[in-house]
Structure 1
């Protein structure tokens, strides 16, 4: 990104640019002197004319709004938010306290080799900042914890900076925001799907600590069963390795439940509860579904269900009763001239339409064959009936936000139905409605794990 200011430039007759501190995902940050107070400040700027993504304005304004609410000694104080208009541009500025010290990335680059005790102390201090953020109402998720955003000074004080990726959970809940923000190597797998939870910050901190211990980006370390295989590359106690491994669990539910729990375990005030390996969900016995997985390809072949599930049997019974009574009624009308009144014809017509709808749903549900193919970049779902393909859905695998079972109310009973669903950004793709409950659970688990692997570990 082209520099907006040079040393010596004066902004709004108050801030003199001293140097460039760095460039983040949202804006460029300069060291500047406040000519009014004499203080050195960090001045972050975003140019409207040079902006490629309009989403950055929202992120920038959210950063300013949230920074104004934060009051913590380890978070640089917020001073001001303003904009400057020129004939050909509009620039937005955030002024805040300049954190004294150097980033962890710079310190490592200059030869710093922290030992386990130093890394632990650093982790404790950052965890206390995260606890503060997560206990706010609504909780604040930083989403970009990395070596460049943690400042350490000579006295050992730690500062967390650059809230350009920050997210308050109220915003996420209301808008369902799915912007992918963060830094490759330090992003938790869920961030690749545009999602973030409280433990997302724990993953970022764990990745940062791993960088301090290995002097490598976590993205460059090998993986085993979707996890970073860091143990052969570090010299730390087994207890600390176990703690770090839990911070870096790819599945959110397997990480510490909160930053407070992570801190308590690290300080020895609470025992570490290891994630017990979940039993692998096996293919249901006698199921004709074929699931094939190799490298970056997953194929699921679902043959016609027929009458092998209870749901298809219930639907068959409903069809038999409804259309049987309907056929008897029509026979009585035609042969015996019963109910042959004009006022009865409309209700009878409605009953015929309902019968046809039930029969169509039954035939398509029990006789259709479905094929789902998921690759690293794209997916395809096809449905076939009697050798003819009647539905094809294609899309980018990266657009799949969730793969899960969706519960709805049954239209023909008081019971609920569970549907197999691909949740995309703008629509849901539903299939396998009449499969057995175990089949649905099995294939959705396999598909979900595969999509998580594709999203989070490319």
Structure 2
């Protein structure tokens, strides 16, 4: 069976891909004997003019680009055959396997390989974004990145392909909003039809997260649109994890703004990542809060002695003195009831004494890092857990609960108790008046935790 010949020049070998109204073919140029890729757009019942605009824009963009890591424009054809009518874009064939196929076949990528990939792709993006007008790919994902000629510990030659979603500043469709890209790899602003160079950075960051987790971004949990992947990549250096978080920051204002900046920050991580920062507490507070991108730790100092504890201590000492007098001066006439009183008073003094030591010397520490949340007590060199540690990804809610106490009709603002609750599955971590925290301290800690975790504060009122 003879092969199909397009434009009396391109001999079709096989189909590489097919979508509604489109197909991609592998062919041989009979003039040069080189393999080429032919992308076809058909004028069928489902044809839309918007598709043709994107198709023509891809051709014009490739014609203006000249970089080995990007397919080169070769030809543009009009197809006018009895069984098909449309257009065809001919470009150089890039031999290689895309990243998605690599992961599906079981290949894993080391930290050094991920960095090498990131640097190569950022250099391509720097080239694209420096064009006049800037070229924004808008569909960076694993299946659009090819690897070829892998050797030793190197990932080989890196190629960025499929410019079918490309945008430049000169291409505008009036008031029409054009949403293109692939869900999971699209930056949030692209859903509103807006694309900027930083949008490509988001796609690259999400692609690298796919490589290190083996999971599509939509298969990973999210908090306030942030991809939660840290618990699945324990082998990565914290600098690289922080950089990936920065690349996939949902907020355009907080994300890395350019490929050049992203490359520089990858080579020279920001110092803030290594140095914990002590946050200034509210006036009059002795709480110490330390945080960086790796952890946040709250140290609550000893509660101190209040009037109630002083009253208990005074009563216990008085009872103990009475028992001492009876034991030393009235031993001969000591009755069973007196012995019982002595035992009770001694026990009372012991209990109050322990409470006194706890109030003066015990500090509490709540710590959340990339792996877990823990809440422990520290007393004179001893340490024990107040609650069982839980995985950080299990944190699902941050709540400030106000509990109305007795006598609500008499100045209710004086009869309410606040506490902060961190919910992890079925477990709750509570910080409040029992730990000696004031209302302002609870608000401050909740705000800091909310910002660090990316979790909104839920407020409840309980009577």
TM-score (norm 2): 0.55
Cα distance in 1, alignment partners of residues 188 and 124 from structure 2: 22
Paired position in structure 2 for 1:216: 215
1:258 aligns with 2:266: no
Cα distance in 2, alignment partners of residues 127 and 7 from structure 1: 44
Query: What count of residue pairs does the alignment treat as equivalent?
Result: 271
Paired position in structure 2 for 1:436: none
Q: Please list the CA deviations of residues 146-170 of structure 1 after superposition, one character each: whole Å capped at 9, or x if unmatched.
A: 0110010123001100000000012
Paired position in structure 1 for 2:127: 132
Aligned ranges for residues 276-425 of structure 1 at < 5 Å?
Answer: none
Answer whether contact 1:26 1:56 (CA < 8 A) is retained: no
Paired position in structure 1 for 2:426: none
* 3-state SS, counterpart of residue 171 of structure 2: helix
Answer whether contact 2:239 2:269 (CA < 8 A) is retained: no
**1:8 Cα deviation from its structure 2 partner:** 2.5
Q: Please list the CA deviations of residues 235-278 of structure 1 after superposition, one character each: whole Å capped at 9, or x if unmatched.
A: 3111000000000011111111210000011112766789xxxx
Paired position in structure 2 for 1:154: 149
Structure 1 residues 219 and 85, CA gap change in structure 2 (3 angstroms)? same
Paired position in structure 2 for 1:31: 26
Structure 2 unaligned residues grouped into runs of 5+? 151-155, 275-463
Cα distance in 2, alignment partners of residues 272 and 21 from structure 1: 47
Cα distance in 2, alignment partners of residues 246 and 273 from structure 1: 12
Root-mean-square deviation (CA, aligned residues, Å) is 2.6
Paired position in structure 2 for 1:446: none
Q: Please list the CA deviations of residues 321-343 of structure 1 after superposition, one character each: whole Å capped at 9, or x if unmatched.
A: xxxxxxxxxxxxxxxxxxxxxxx
Cα distance in 2, alignment partners of residues 213 and 128 from structure 1: 21
Cα distance in 2, alignment partners of residues 25 and 210 from structure 1: 29
Cα distance in 2, alignment partners of residues 120 and 223 from structure 1: 24
Paired position in structure 2 for 1:183: 182
Paired position in structure 1 for 2:87: 92
Answer whether contact 2:239 2:273 (CA < 8 A) is retained: no
Out of 113, 121, 124, which is 1:118 matched to? Answer: 113
Answer whether contact 2:10 2:28 (CA < 8 A) is retained: yes
Structure 1 residues 7 and 28, CA gap change in structure 2 (3 angstroms)? farther
Paired position in structure 2 for 1:142: 137
Structure with the bigger RCO (C-alpha within 8 Å, sep 6+) is 1
Paired position in structure 2 for 1:170: 170
TM-score (norm 1): 0.56
Answer whether contact 2:243 2:266 (CA < 8 A) is retained: yes
Structure 1 residues 177 and 26, CA gap change in structure 2 (3 angstroms)? farther
Question: Post-superposition, which runs of at least 4 consecutive aligned residues in structure 1 deviate over 4 A?
Answer: 269-274
Q: Please list the CA deviations of residues 346-390 of structure 1 after superposition, one character each: whole Å capped at 9, or x if unmatched.
A: xxxxxxxxxxxxxxxxxxxxxxxxxxxxxxxxxxxxxxxxxxxxx
Answer whether contact 2:21 2:46 (CA < 8 A) is retained: no
* 3-state SS, counterpart of residue 254 of structure 1: coil
Cα distance in 2, alignment partners of residues 56 and 47 from structure 1: 10
Paired position in structure 1 for 2:398: none
* 3-state SS, counterpart of residue 242 of structure 2: helix
Cα distance in 2, alignment partners of residues 176 and 206 from structure 1: 30
Cα distance in 1, alignment partners of residues 169 and 212 from structure 2: 32
* 3-state SS, counterpart of residue 83 of structure 1: strand
Paired position in structure 2 for 1:77: 72
